[in-house]
Structure 1
Amino acid sequence: MTPAALPADWPFKAQSSLVSTGRQRFWVIDTGPPEHSGDTPALLLLHGTGASGHSFARTIPGLAQHYRTITPDLPGHGCSAKGFAGRLGLDAMAQDLWTLCDTLQVQPQAIIGHSAGAAIGLRMAELRPVPQVIGLNAALGEFDGAAAFLFPILARGLATLPFAASAITAFFGRPGTVDRILAGTGSPLDAEGRARYLTLVRDPDHVTGTLGMMAEWRLQGLLNRLPQTATKVTLIASEGDRAVPAQVSIDAAKRIPGAKLHLLPKLGHLAHEETEDGLSALILKVLAQNGSPETPPRT
């Protein structure tokens, strides 16, 4: 998808731009307090598989009152869909996101990751020090049984088939189908939220990138290393999540030294898209409790 193809009312379109890191280009929402400078503490927000930076549309305003917020479309997704072939696995994505941070001259005070974005955030924290990682319905579990073997193979096969993405967009790119998929996560969303996902599902480049990420996704190494995690970690999980059950975060928190756990009743997988403030008040509270300034220091 090109930025020009985004609807005029796409979240934070005016605060976004294509950032070249040399071999790739990321579409990045970059916003913060009025007249923020290079000294303003920064947060990196990472969405989940199949979404885009728009996922944090309700979260960003609350956080951007106090922090510079950097919210890229992940490699292969949204307007960052092209140029990442062969670099859609966990390690490569973490490396390329650090390259983006270097290009922007940003050292995140914290990484806030939703679903697969939380796994990427933890991998980034293994590569370089990050004060803390906050996972929202973090996808920190492998597939079970035959799915562990078949799912990547199926995704890889689809990703290499000509016209596969076009066929998927034609099959799934219908309002009723997208509505059912979202409802199946425990987060039905409002009409505006559903329309944004419909826009993504109808874009063949986005679908191709999403399939590529699924095909290259390998999590077991990270899961094995959870007990060696050195950064502060907080996992926020929704008890109504049908995509990544809260038990995944409960189990992961037990394996991460010093991890904190917050359980949210009723909300689903896209809790930050359901709540009015996008969970920004809770995130700010966690940041303050873990030693990050809720309001950046004045110089």
Structure 2
Amino acid sequence: MAKGLDWATDSRDWPNRAHSRFVEAATTRWHVQRAGKGEHVLLLHGTGASTHSWAGLLPLLAARFDTLAVDLPGHGFTQSLRRLDSSLPGMVRALKALLTQESFRPSLIIGHSAGAAIAVRLAPELDPRPRGTVSINGALKPFGGPAALIAPVMAKALAINPFVSRALARGGRDPSRVARLIEGTGSRPGANYLEFYGRLFANPRHVAGTLSMMANWDVSGVMAPFERASLRLHQIVGLNDRAVPPEDAEALARRYNGASLERMPGLGHLAHEEDAARVAASIFSAFASAELPARKSGT
């Protein structure tokens, strides 16, 4: 198995490192960051990212909430102790074990991209159920057209070959290549974020975990249990997003009465990395009231 990130050396300047610790739950050794007091808020990053993605947002949320950020299984410093189940149900099971271990009962779950899909799949299974969920450029729809078949097959073929993750990781050592990859999402986060993405992309185990998640990903029907539970979904959408079409969030807001939407011109797929204060203000505003909107009849 490829060597993972080394905490002693790779975490030396990791964002919010003072709030980091490791927790063993079920078959996973989790890297988590927890800060603040108040209602519980859970942060779930997207595919290929880590807790570093919340560098700016976590301190803002921790000023009001008891906030928990995690490296998802196969990502960052989190290590699966057995064979990784990186499917959407597998991620949900792993997170439920962690939340039970930590006695953490989130009132709000915030997910970015694929993390938003995990959030809406997780929320209906929790007791008590969260007040709501926040999707930041959420990847809540399957790929359309031929990509629906080709993308997972390609990712699976790459994931099962250990030499591929090592080869891709070598490319992660090139800062210009990392910058092009991130800018391809429509975002321009600060140089500090690019430094940490480069560190992640240069690690074969992180790359393998990312490929495994892509290969096993299926979000078809992910909203159905969420809608039946009448949970609230606040969508934050960077209008420059080139990874997930902003129109997907628009369509969901029209269909589901429990979904609110805030458009953010000038921001891309990594909106929370580009302007954490703006994203935090949107979250605070959306959940200032405990009253949740009713679900449309017939949904």
Same fold (TM over 0.5): yes
Structural RMSD (CA): 1.7
**Partner in structure 1 of residue 111 of structure 2:** 113
Alignment of 1:23 with 2:27, yes or no, is: yes
Aligned with 1:74 (options 72, 75, 86): 72
* Secondary structure, aligned partner of 1:252: helix
For 2:188, the aligned partner's letter is: P
Question: For 1:208-238, what per-residue CA distance to the aligned partner results, in whole angstroms no more than 9, with x for missing partners?
Answer: 1000100110111314556435211111111
**Partner in structure 2 of residue 13 of structure 1:** 17
For 1:93, the aligned partner's letter is: M
Conserved 8 A contact 2:28-2:79: no
Question: For 1:176-202, what per-residue CA distance to the aligned partner results, in whole angstroms no more than 9, with x for missing partners?
Answer: 111001111111222111111001000
For 1:92, the aligned partner's letter is: G
| C-alpha separation in 1, matches of 2:118 and 2:130 | 12
For 1:24, the aligned partner's letter is: T
Alignment of 1:144 with 2:148, yes or no, is: no
* CA shift in 2, pair 1:216/1:278, >3 Å: farther
* CA shift in 2, pair 1:23/1:82, >3 Å: closer
| C-alpha separation in 2, matches of 1:83 and 1:278 | 38
| C-alpha separation in 1, matches of 2:153 and 2:55 | 33
* Secondary structure, aligned partner of 1:61: helix
**Partner in structure 1 of residue 167 of structure 2:** 167
* Secondary structure, aligned partner of 1:10: coil
Gapped runs of 5+ residues in structure 2? 293-299
* CA shift in 2, pair 1:90/1:84, >3 Å: farther
Per the TM alignment, residue 254 of structure 1 is displaced from its structure 2 partner at its CA by 2.5
**Number of matched pairs:** 286
Gapped runs of 5+ residues in structure 1? 293-299
Conserved 8 A contact 2:178-2:197: yes
Structure 1 residues 9-158: aligned runs within 5 Å: 9-32=13-36, 36=37, 40-83=38-81, 85-128=83-126, 129-158=129-158
Per the TM alignment, residue 291 of structure 1 is displaced from its structure 2 partner at its CA by 4.6
Structure 1 residues 197-236: aligned runs within 5 Å: 197-223=197-223, 227-236=227-236
For 1:3, the aligned partner's letter is: W
For 2:61, the aligned partner's letter is: L
Question: For 1:159-184, what per-residue CA distance to the aligned partner results, in whole angstroms no more than 9, with x for missing partners?
Answer: 11121111011134310111001111
Conserved 8 A contact 2:15-2:52: yes
| C-alpha separation in 1, matches of 2:62 and 2:258 | 27
| C-alpha separation in 2, matches of 1:278 and 1:137 | 14
For 1:17, the aligned partner's letter is: R
**Partner in structure 2 of residue 297 of structure 1:** none
* Secondary structure, aligned partner of 1:185: coil
For 2:284, the aligned partner's letter is: L
* Secondary structure, aligned partner of 1:79: coil
- Name whichever of 249-258 and 108-117 sits farther off: 249-258
TM, length-normalised to structure 1: 0.91
TM, length-normalised to structure 2: 0.91
Question: For 1:28-85, what per-residue CA distance to the aligned partner results, in whole angstroms no more than 9, with x for missing partners?
Answer: 00111xxx4xxx3110000000000110111011110111100000111000144363
| C-alpha separation in 2, matches of 1:247 and 1:225 | 22
Query: What is the aligned-residue identity percentage?
Result: 37
* Secondary structure, aligned partner of 1:76: coil
